[in-house]
Structure 1
Amino acid sequence: MNTIALQVNRRAVAASAEPRTSLADFVRDKLDLTGTHLGCEHGVCGACTVLLDGVPARSCITYAAACEGADVTTIEGLEEDEVTAELRAAFTREHALQCGYCTPGMLISARDLVLRLPDADERQVRVGLSGNLCRCTGYVGIVRAVQSVIEARRMRNVAPLADGGRSILGPAGSGRAGSGPSEPLQLGRTALDRQFASAAHLSIPDFTPSAVLDQSFSLAHPPAEVFAVFDDIAGIAACLPGVSLKGAPTPERVEGEIRVKLGPIAAAFEGAARVERDPATLSGRIIGIGADRRSRSATQGEIRYRLLPLEGGVATAVELSIGYTLTGMLAQVGRPGLVRDLAKRLVAEFAANLDRHMSGAPSGRTAPAELSFWSVASDVLQARFARMVSRVTGKSGRSDRRPPGAAE
């Protein structure tokens, strides 16, 4: 599940949804805006039409995740719209609706025609409405209603808007909320595309992870010493498999890359992170965001850690909580079980490298290691085989025992 943030009917909203969720299902099921109707669900009938960044769009064939940051207007958001109010009155006057199922999408498309067409040309109106199907009216009343509104507005010297007020080239939804025509190359980007920008421009927001894994390990060093090492960002990065830094790190911003291999997919996540520390509780948090252009995958992640004394304070228990959200191609192969096993291996390698680093022993690494799917899978299979053998031998051992009081 991904958290999708966008503007809906001039209100900022955020809700979780699966990557395959359509914009129509998102506004209906997550936001209870049921004025957007579902008909063919193939983008043909037009019942699901909404305004996406001011442009009519089929919400049934638009992924909600692709609308991150966009400005969406449903029929409910046009309640006080002047043009829509005139169209409602005209639809009533011209008997342009019967069952009403197509009407919300029809009104949104008609509104676009009223804004764009210079005059009430019947042919242009019919062509403009050809993407909205109605099985009741025969369209005559609908066409007359739209024509009458156009005529009335032009008689009041309300001029048409060039291209319906659109100042941006590109498909519906290509203009992102808050962007202007002076940024044409930024307008067509989805949330994933924006994460493919240079790490120098990535923001590092808080987020709610879609999955959280708890891990722990111990070190033969006092908590105060371990906490001091955690303040050495470059040293900690050198202990993490697959990680390399770019530039001089600071607690406010760390830029770098982590390389991962999962089967045939090799990914290099470029991104940035920030580091938070609390000396009073010997705890902290590392939160980051990154993207891989090759696999078109993006991730957000956070590592929360807490240090606890062991053996009277001469050793340390390191408790980790690893949260992440993964989108794109790698999300299709990143099954929870595999990710858990991958995290265990990463933490084990990190603990061993950290112990060597604190002991002053060379790590022997000249370049960041890559996390290989096959090496992880080998370890996983060995561990599961060992557990299976343990269960079988355990059962065999119990079957040889006689219950108390049994005869020889």
Structure 2
Amino acid sequence: MNAPVRTPAAVTALDLTVNGRAVSRAVKPRTHLADFLREDLNLTGTHLGCEHGVCGACTVLLDGEPARSCLTFAAVCSGASVTTIEGLDDDELTAELRAAFTREHALQCGFCTPGMLVAARDLALRLPEPDERRIRVGLAGNLCRCTGYLGIVRAIQSVIAERRGRGVAPAAGERPLGSVGAHVGSERAAISRAADRTAAERSSPAVAVSEFVPAHTFEQRFTVAFPAEDVFALFGDVRAVADCLPGAFVEATPSPERIEGGIRVKLGPIAAAFRGAASVSRDEADRAGRILGAGADGRSGAQGEIRYRVIDDATPGISEVVLTVGYTLKGPLAQFGRPGLVRDVAGRLTADFARNLEDRLAGRDVPEDRGSQSSGLNPLRLVTGLLFGRLSSWLRRVRSRSSR
């Protein structure tokens, strides 16, 4: 009997530069860059962890930009320049980061460290100042199971501070982005990026949700010990309103009808910032307004609408604010979006907001732990307060029944 004929697997010619050295190989089309570096070139400093592009242990530089080598096919890197952790042995900035990681105890088992150093180097090149929030956001794609990140963040902060103190300026201009091996610095890529930015501006969240239909809606009411016209006038100053809302911040006001900003959320050592844009409209005659916007933190997204109306209370000098809130949550955040929980948390948040409004109208400083200058909105604290409040209410009812 004749043996079956085996068709040789197709291969692709690959020519690229790895750590400054020209490399030519024949690879199978589905070979990942990480496997090619480790198995063909014996560059085992590139670690494989999740192999889903989540943990960041496989991060290398492609055309000077951090990229996941476990998700990148080697064949598409032809013509690209690849730098692994081994290629950074003589890099001055990487040497500073290695020393800082040692000094700040920023590594334990060391498995994540190669990818972490590649990401840290990129941050040290780009960030104008050692901003902890921006560093944590920049490291969001690099997971560490040992250190808790505090030492890593401090190490990067110290290197950035030292470099800026020596007069080393951050990398100028917007960081070029593009597909792997696309030579992103080319004129063609620049034209493509300009087109992408134009398209993004046309589809900004404030415009995209103009016909927004919320998944959930609820109403909140509170009173303020100031005349309705004063309260409504303050609502017209979006920065002043943001100062009164815990965790909120405004980054830009391109026009009276549009704001850009977000809200910072802090749960223990974990901090995130939801950034987006919103459209603002006001009806002076009815003392009413509407804020419609959308934002995201990279994994979760939210769309929301706040309609407000300021009316005169029966008591002179007192006004009532009626808020109608509609929202839709997407991503992991949606698991915390049960209407009852959101309504209860919003009630406690509204109470802080009302007190801050009164302080602002009275010319008093908003307490740091209640204003937007705090470390961020803390849902855990709000929910804990709710639970204690409900427990106290239940105990009072039990005592009342037992005393009868």
TM range (shorter): 0.3 to 0.5
Structure with larger Rg:
1
TM-score computed with the length of structure 2 as normaliser: 0.47
* TM-score, reference length from structure 1: 0.46
